[in-house]
């Protein structure tokens, strides 16, 4: 197989986002759009990935360096069109001899199958491959011009197109692939003599065809190639991502009773026979094992839910929550950085942060792990089979032994031994008849004032 490199164009200004954040760092499915393109390039086997950025885009340059390392971006200054953007990487790729694919940084939903189909064309007869799609409303997209035998003769930008060409619905997604040296050779012949005064990458198709090279289009769905220029399009891309993810999970054996109300992230993993009730949000980093049940109105992030566990309704799992097999986390319980053992239960109104709860333990309503003193965080550990009575404050660092019982309403500041009873609250005092006497005294006072 030929070596593969990817060039991701991201030097556009993104002004329509009206944002201080660079456009390609806005997220779809919990992941920056640029990172979708980077991931696509990686999955397509690209050994080199270069991002074209504009001058002054420090935040973007830093992001690229963090994700791909030094030397992974090139600066296009000033931006003079897509062809000019690709040429900005000519130096960086001068020692690269394989196939090059051009992707956009603002086009997050392209499936890997589309990219591999393009590379397959290059392994066959084609010298250049273009990813196209049938547009419902072709509008400003470039049109793909095919000849009788199905090969591409050129791409015409909408501004340059004749009325007959404008009637073509097969459009250019922007994704293009070819041998690296061929692409740069063709680009050296591209001029900016056109309606926009830009160097069009798309012009290389006509030039290649004229020189006797074979250019082919492969197609995908319009939804797959949605480009994001505004927050409205960002929301549209999110909606497409969510719809695809919901149906993929359902096909894989996950029950969603109201799919349109459940939101996933790019890295959500859900096992078979998991039941998900309405209005559940999976932020990034959630793994749910088979046969768990996620009940309505729960929010999960960075959490693991093991087989048979039940979460919610109205539960919150934060990063580091690891809910054991058949454990139960009920309404208004927040779990952070805490492992909950097999079969343990915290069914109502609790904060369980920075701790570990043994198998079979029972955490009463209103239990708080007091993990923070305003400066540092400390751990709470609860032994297997322990029982923490309702409305207890466990002041960390503290540990409750196996099988111990904490009396309801306790403030526990010292470790509790296994199988002990710990009470950390005022002693109950009883005065027989006091209430009755109090009422009679007050009635007398009130009537003497009339
Ligand atoms: C481009 C294609 C068009 C295609 C459409 C698909 C050309 C000439 N036209 O048009 O055929 O249908 O995309 O969306 O290629 N960029 C740079 N530097 C530049 C200019 C652009 O990095 O100097 C980047 C942008 O950030 C963006 C991408 O290239 O990610 C596309 O640029 P854009 O200006 O949106 O191209 P279109 O006119 O939409
Ligand atoms: Mg565009």
CATH number of 4-225: 3.90.550.10
Residue 228's contacts (CB-CB under 8 Å, 6 or more residues apart) are 23, 26, 28, 33, 106, 107, 108, 234, 236, 237
Ligand 1 atom nearest residue 78's Cα: 23
- Which percentage of the chain shows pLDDT scores above 70? 100
Average per-residue pLDDT for the chain: 97
Q: Which residue has its alpha carbon closest to ligand 1 atom 36?
A: 82
CATH code for the structural domain at 231-422: 2.160.10.10
Spell out the long-range contacts of 87-91 with Cβ–Cβ below 8 A and sequence spacing 24 or more: 87/184, 87/187, 87/188, 87/199, 88/11, 88/52, 89/7, 89/50, 89/52, 90/184, 90/187
| Residue 63 falls in the annotated catalytic set | no
> Nearest C-alpha to atom 20 of ligand 1 is from which residue?
81
Query: Ligand 1 centroid to 156 CA: how many Å?
Result: 13
Q: What is the pLDDT of residue 33?
A: 98
Instruction: Report how far ligand 2's centroid is from the alpha carbon of 312 (Å).
Output: 43
Residues with CB under 6 A from ligand 1: 9-12, 52, 76, 79-82, 84-85, 104-106, 141-142, 155, 157, 171-174, 200-202, 227
- Minimum-distance ligand 1 atom for the alpha carbon of 200: 8
Catalytic residue among 84, 287, 299, 348: 348
Q: What is the DSSP string of 183-216?
A: HHHHHTT----STT----TTHHHHHHHHTT--EE
- What does the alpha-carbon distance between residue 54 and residue 58 come to, in Å, rounded to a whole number? 9
Instruction: Read off the pLDDT band of 206 (50, 70, 90).
Output: very high
CA 85 / ligand 1 centre spacing (Å): 9
State yes or no: pLDDT of 40 exceeds 90.
yes
* Half-sphere exposure in the Cβ direction for 10 (13 Å, CA): 35
Q: Which of 6, 174, 198, 223 to mutate to test the pocket of ligand 1 (most atoms within 8 A of CB)?
A: 174
**What is the C-alpha separation between 435 and 422, in angstroms, rounded?**
30
Q: What is the mean pLDDT of residues 292-305?
A: 98
Instruction: State which of 82, 131, 194, 203 you would mutate to test the pocket of ligand 1, scoring each by most atoms of that ligand within 8 A of its C-beta.
Output: 82
pLDDT digits (tens, 9 = 90+) for 308-347: 999 999 999 999 999 999 999 999 999 999 999 999 999 9
Question: What pLDDT sits at residue 13?
Answer: 85
Domain with CATH 3.90.550.10 in the chain: 4-225
- According to DSSP, residue 432 is labeled T
Band (pLDDT 50/70/90 cuts) for residue 1 is confident
pLDDT over 90 (residue 302) = yes
For residue 57, is pLDDT > 90? yes
Mean of pLDDT values over 430-437 = 98
- The answer to whether residue 217 scores a pLDDT higher than 90 is yes
Q: Specify the ligand 1 atom closest to the Cα of 227.
A: 14
Radius of gyration of the chain (CA): 31
Give distance in angstroms: CA of 337 to centre of ligand 2. 43
Report pTM: 0.95
Query: Which pLDDT tens digit goes with each residue over 27-36?
Result: 999 999 999 9
pLDDT digits (tens, 9 = 90+) for 232-251: 999 999 999 999 999 999 99
Residue 10 has pLDDT above 90, yes or no: yes
Which pLDDT value is given to residue 365? 98
Give me the pLDDT at residue 242, please.
98
Residues of the chain with CATH 2.160.10.10: 231-422
Over residues 105-132, the mean pLDDT reads: 97
SS (HEC) of 235-304: HHHHHHHHHHHHHHHHHCCCEECCHHHCECCCCCEECCCCEECCCCEECCCCEECCCCEECCCCEECCCE
> For ligand 1, atom 22, which residue shows the shortest CA distance?
11
Q: At what angle do helices 203-210 and 180-187 cross, to 10 degrees?
A: 100
Q: Residue 450: pLDDT band by 50, 70, 90 thresholds?
A: confident
Substitution candidate for ligand 1 out of 7, 12, 54, 102 with most atoms within 8 A of CB: 12
Neighbours of 78 (CB within 10 A): 8
């Amino acid at each position: 197989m030929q070596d593969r490199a990817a060039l991701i164009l991201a030097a556009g200004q993104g002004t329509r986002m009206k944002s201080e954040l660079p456009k390609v760092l806005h997220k779809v499915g919990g992941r920056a759009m640029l990172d979708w393109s980077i991931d696509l390039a990686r999955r397509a086997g690209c050994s080199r990935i270069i991002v074209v950025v504009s001058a002054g885009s420090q935040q973007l340059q830093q992001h690229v360096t963090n994700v791909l390392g030094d030397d992974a971006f090139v600066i296009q200054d000033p931006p003079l069109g897509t062809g000019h953007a690709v040429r900005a990487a000519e130096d960086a790729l001068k020692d690269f001899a394989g196939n090059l694919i051009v992707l956009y940084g603002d086009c997050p939903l392209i499936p890997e199958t589309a990219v591999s189909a393009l590379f397959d064309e290059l392994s066959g007869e084609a010298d250049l491959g273009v990813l196209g799609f049938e547009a419902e409303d072709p509008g400003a997209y470039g049109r793909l011009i095919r000849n009788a035998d199905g090969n591409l003769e050129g791409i015409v930008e909408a501004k340059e197109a004749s009325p007959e060409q404008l009637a073509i619905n097969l459009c250019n997604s922007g994704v293009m692939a070819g041998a690296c040296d061929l692409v740069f050779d063709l680009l050296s012949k591209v001029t900016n003599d056109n309606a926009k005064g830009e160097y069009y990458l798309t012009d290389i198709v006509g030039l290649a065809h004229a020189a006797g090279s074979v250019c082919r289009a492969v197609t995908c769905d319009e939804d797959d190639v949605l480009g994001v220029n505004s927050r409205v399009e960002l929301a549209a891309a999110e909606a497409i991502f969510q719809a695809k993810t919901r149906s993929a999970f359902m096909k894989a054996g996950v029950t969603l009773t109201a799919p349109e109300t459940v939101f996933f992230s790019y890295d959500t993993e859900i096992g078979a026979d998991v039941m998900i009730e309405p209005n559940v949000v999976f932020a990034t980093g959630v793994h749910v094992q088979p046969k768990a049940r996620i009940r309505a109105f729960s929010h999960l992030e960075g959490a693991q839910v093991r087989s048979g566990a039940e979460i919610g309704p109205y539960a919150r799992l934060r990063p580091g929550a690891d809910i054991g097999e058949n454990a139960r986390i009920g309404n208004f319980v927040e779990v952070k950085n805490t492992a909950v053992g097999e079969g343990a239960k915290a069914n109502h109104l609790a904060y369980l942060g920075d701790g570990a709860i043994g198998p079979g333990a029972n955490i009463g309503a209103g239990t708080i792990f007091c993990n923070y003193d305003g400066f540092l965080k400390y751990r709470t550990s609860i032994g297997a089979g322990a029982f923490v009575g309702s409305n207890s404050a466990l002041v960390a660092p503290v540990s409750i032994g196996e099988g111990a019982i904490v009396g309801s309403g306790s403030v526990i500041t010292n470790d509790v031994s296994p199988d002990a009873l710990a009470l950390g609250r005022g002693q109950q005092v009883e005065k027989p008849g006091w209430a009755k006497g109090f009422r009679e005294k007050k009635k007398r006072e009130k009537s003497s004032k009339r």
